[in-house]
Amino acid sequence: MTLRKTCHRGNFKSRRGGLCSVERSLTTQTMQRPNKGKTPRRPGPKKAANIDKDPVGVYCRIRPLGAEDEECCLEMISSSTIQLHAPDGLKANRNGEYKETQYSFKKAFGINTNQLELFEDVAKPLIEDLIHCKNGLLFTYGVTGSGKTFTMTGSPGEGGLLPRSLDMLFNSIGPFQAKRFVFKPDDKNGMEIQGQVDALLERQKRESQPTVPKTPSSRQKADPELADMINSEEACKSENVDEDCCYSVFVSYIEIYNNYIYDLLEDAPFDPIRPKAPQSKILREDQNHNMYVAGCTEVEVKSTEEAFEVFWKGQKKRRIANTELNRESSRSHSVFTVKLAQAPLDADGDHILQDKNQVNVSQLCLVDLAGSERTSRTRAEGSRLREAGNINQSLMTLRTCMEVLRENQMCGTNKMVPYRDSKVTHLFKNYFDGEGKVRMIVCVNPKADDYDETMLVMRFAEMTQEVEVARPVDRPICGLTAGRRHRNRVFRDEMTRRMDERGGSGSSVDDTALLDQMMESLPALPRCELLDPADDQTLPRLMEVLERRHRVRQMMTEQFNKSATTLKSMLQQFDSQINSKETFLHDQRSKLSEKEKVINSQKSELERLEKKSKTLEYKIDILQKTTNMYEQDKRSLQQELETREQRLHRELTEKKRMEQRMQGMVTDTKHKWEKECERRVNAKQLEMQNKLWVKDEKLKQLKAIVTESSGSGFPSERPEKPERPSRERDHTRSASPSPLQGNVFKTRGGGQAVQFTDIETLRQECAMASSRKRHSGSGDGAAHMEDIENRAPVPSTSSNLGYQKRRKP
């Protein structure tokens, strides 16, 4: 028995424990989960360290403006680059200049892109991977009113990604679908296989229950809102479909509203008296560590119209509301899951192989995320405000998970990714930790009012492109010979043709002729009439003829067996040759697929290098512009510095010249004030000498009067009249017996000042006292007065003098 890897999406249990353990050991490349300490469980399978990874594919779609006169804040530079610039009235930096930022994507779609072009580039590869047992996740992201729901759902005549994906899926697997209820979902995210009889009984049971709503038939008239979603000319089909498998499609539709999960396809009984609110669902983890919604309704569909009708049934239950920015704003995140179950045919190519371990289940999740919004612009209140808060919180959690994933992958850290903080991230955790392609379409509105929100969305998209997920690998279903269905169909056609030929008018004639020819080849029977009971010759002759006929028949049988054996050996030889050729073709195809993988990897590497080169060129341009600007600033500063140096040199020269001039002026002023001070000192000395001379004259006159009145015995002698001091005799007068002493010091203005330290004072005594004394000694008085007149003005100890000079320090 050939062992194969278990299904990536199933919850299958092997009947034999040994086989189950071997299969669990073989699933080394299924899914990798980070170790968390919240819930004790057995550790998940670890992935190989050298597994190939691909970055998350991020695409950008620009919505047309609502009016031609609206201001636009972004433009499409190339097929993969978007440039965002600030609108008028908003300065992006402090210099007052408009800041322009460029963002690169895997591919950008302008306002003239139709839905078919977007589908062929984004969703068509995911449908082909879904048919080849590979998982996929596609979600739209953007601000409110940016066209996310239109991109995912579309409108009549312009079908979105979801209806086109379903149409391509059914166009590809339509002839190879199994009958209803052959595949039956279990309650643990797995798939079971029922026999033809059990499936028939299940169908009859469902049809016999009128209370149970029947699955809509593809022959019924489609909803007018869904009619003409896709034109027949735009239908797509995958050519690489395994014809030796049977397929069945199951769809489910849920919404995440206020961080609660609700089933949009659940048929709850309606009670007009006491209506009940819908019950929320919970998330569980299956044995392969994949997250799923427990108790979610999964509907089996067999055509595109039927799937459309199921989708529209859930779409009518989805919560939408009217806001200031969007007339039909989605108030919840919607998840439409397409699950494809496939199992191989048996060796005869007639029935499905009744082996549960050979069932492979893959799924594609189409997610329409609610748009982020600012309450200051939507003016939301009450329940709308609560909805907006939960929407923004879940989107913030998604961004945080992407940032932690990028940090863990780029820096080699092992931080815990907060998947459980939101139902959206928790549901799609296995896509980022396991295998599967992830595609994101960033929808943007180019109007200037959404500039701030659009810039945040662009930054998130640029960061998401750096997150890598494991590349899904091909999983062969079984080891049976390929082309079983085709050979079975050819055999049936040939048998039908032969039966038709035999059932025609000439068949009886041919059978009769063949029977006659065979009868002629046998020995003829003798006459068998017994006329006499004692006849002993007829029976022996008859027995001899019958024995001869029996020997001839045995010879014919042996010859036929030899011919059949020879033909069988030839057929086996042909089969072995065909198998060898098919093996050779399979090897060549595997080599070709490996070469294609290498080419694709080289292409992706080339695209990455081209994108990196463009980014570096853009950075080089920015650095060149910055360098030119800095050089201009440097030249202007150098010129300003030279100008200031010249000005400073002139100022220094002028200052030196001024200092020299001031020194000359100070010297001149100093000489001038020295002369002036000398003149003033001389004038003051002359004035003082004149005053002294006047006092001496008065003193002499007084002395003469006193002398005349005191004694008549003395001859009157007329004193000589002293000469008045003049300028010409300053030096002679200054040499008087009693000179004045003083200090000369310089003033602040550069001149000189004189301070006298020796001052003479005149004192007059009473005349009566002197007369009384004079009577007592008149003879000595005249001699004494004469002595005073002719004596130098020095201090005297005698107290009988009329006038006495006293010096005070």
Where do we find the tokens 């499409």?
76
| 144 carries a ligand binding annotation | yes
- The annotation status of 148 as a binding-site residue, yes or no, is yes
Strand partners, 419: none
Q: Say which amino acid occupies 495.
A: M
Cα–Cα dist 363/579, whole Å: 32
Q: Is 53 annotated as a binding residue?
A: no
Q: At what angle do helices 383-411 and 451-464 cross, to 10 degrees?
A: 30
Residues pairing with 761 in the sheet: 806
* Rounded Cα distance, 469 and 58, in Å: 13
Going through 258-407 in order, the beta strands assigned E by DSSP cover 260-263, 283-285, 291-293, 299-301, 320-321, 329-330, 333-344, 360-368
Looking at the DSSP bridge assignments, the partners of residue 651 are none
Rounded Cα distance, 439 and 452, in Å: 24
CA angle centred on 807, ends 805 and 809, rounded to 5°: 170
CA 468/CA 564 separation, integer angstroms: 60
Dist CA 713 CA 164 (whole Å): 167
Angle at 402 between CA 398 and CA 403, to 5 degrees: 115
Identify the residue whose tokens are 């930022």.
101
145 marked among binding-site residues: yes
Query: How far apart are the two ends of the chain, measured CA to CA in Å?
Result: 143
Largest CA distance in the chain: 254
Residue pair 134/436 in contact by the 8 Å Cβ criterion: yes
The answer to whether the CB of 76 falls within 8 A of the CB of 29 is: no
Read out DSSP for 442-484? Answer: EEE--BGGGHHHHHHHHHHHHHHTT-EEEPP-------SPTTH
Name the region of 469 (left: φ>0; alpha: ψ -120 to 50; beta: rest).
beta
**E-assigned strands of 217-316?**
245-257, 260-263, 283-285, 291-293, 299-301
- Coil vs helix vs strand at 298: coil
Rounded distance between C-alpha atoms, residue 81 and residue 514, angstroms = 80
Strands 53-55 and 57-62: unpaired
Q: Taking the mean position of all CA atoms in its chain, how far away is CA 218? A: 44
> Which residues does the annotation place in the binding site for ATP?
142-149
> Which residues does the annotation place in the binding site?
142-149
